Amino acid sequence: MNRIIINGCCGRMGRFLMDMIGETEGMQVVAGIDPFIPEGTDFGFPVYTSLDKAIEEADVVIDFSIASGVPSLLESVKKKGLGIVVATTGLDEDTRQLLREASKSVPVFFSANMSLGINLLKELIKKTAEVLGKDYDVEIIEKHHKMKKDAPSGTALALADALREVRDFQYVYGRKETEKARAEGELGIHAFRGGSIVGEHEVIFAGSNEVIEITHKAYSRELFARGAVRAAGYLKGKAPGFYSMEDMLSGEF
């Protein structure tokens, strides 16, 4: 049995995770963590305000919370010797470095996006950029709901980083200049916020006589929960180390 603790259990993603883990054979939620526990909450398992207070035996923590809480969570995970799947978005470079440091002590799984489709998209755009070369300009447009605070999205930046593995790009955000032509090697990254859009990412390759658009649209947050649950299954029993969606998927295809 893979015993799971959900960090951020009272949030929208936490509730998706509860349902999905409940439907997954060989997995069980043994505790939840959330600093804001609504009065009368009863999920069928104990809920604590911090991981340090949890007394249940567990294997893996799945974290869907806020970026500012990840550093302290990592300290608690190391103390307890638990694996952790970090699905929280908007992590800065300092926090990502903390993930790598923690991975020396415990197994850490991190992906900027838990969607299988997005991670396939990363491979597709790398191949496309490789084949088309410098004759094609590349831009990324991402769209999310109006409550999302970080911009551009972590996924958009992950797509940009994937492209930079095969071409030398300079990131340009928003294009505020009104009298400046596009320079060679620029990679434009644009963010839209509005309504209830779960998440859309479009990568555009524009040549002199044709345009290629590769798009991913998420219609439900359930797909992110599904990816995190698969990651938790993958992580159980792993040695300390830093694991990614690419590591997990390489063994499945």
Element (H, E) at 242: strand 241-243
Residues ≥6 apart with Cβ < 8 Å to 179: none
Residue in 89, 88, 83, 91 with CA at minimum distance from that of residue 109: 83
Tell me whether residue 216 is one of the annotated catalytic residues.
Answer: no
Catalytic residue among 122, 143, 144, 216: 144
Round to whole Å and give the CA distance between 245 and 231: 8
Single out the catalytic residue among 122, 148, 201, 216: 148
> Could you give the CA distance from residue 176 to residue 153 in angstroms, rounded to a whole number?
19
148 in active site: yes
What three-state secondary structure class fits 195? coil
Residue at token pair 């002199």: 208
Residue 42 carries which DSSP code?
Answer: -
Question: Do the bridges between strand 211-218 and strand 199-206 make them parallel or antiparallel, or are there none, so unpaired?
Answer: antiparallel
Alpha carbon separation from 196 to 88, 116, 141, 152, 204 (Å, rounded): 19, 21, 17, 17, 23
Helix runs in the chain, H state only: 12-22, 70-80, 93-102, 116-132, 154-164, 222-235, 245-250
Active site residues: 144, 148
